[in-house]
Structure 1
Amino acid sequence: MNKNTQIILTTTIATIVTYYLSINLGLGAVVASGIVGLSVALFLPTDLSIVAYTAAFAGMSSAQVLASYPMVAFAGLLVGIIFIITQPLYQGFGGKLGTIAACAVFITARLFRLF
Structure 2
Amino acid sequence: MAVPILIYGSEVWVLRSWNESRIQAAEMRFLRAVKECTRVGQIRNEEIRRQLNMMPILGAFKEYRKKWSDHLLRLPLCRLPSQVRRNKPRGRRDIGRLRKRWIPEQADESHS
TM-score (norm 2): 0.29
TM-score (norm 1): 0.29
Q: Which is bigger in relative contact order (C-alpha 8 A, separation at least 6)?
A: 1
Q: Which of the pair is proportionally richer in helix?
A: 1
Structure of higher CA gyration radius: 2
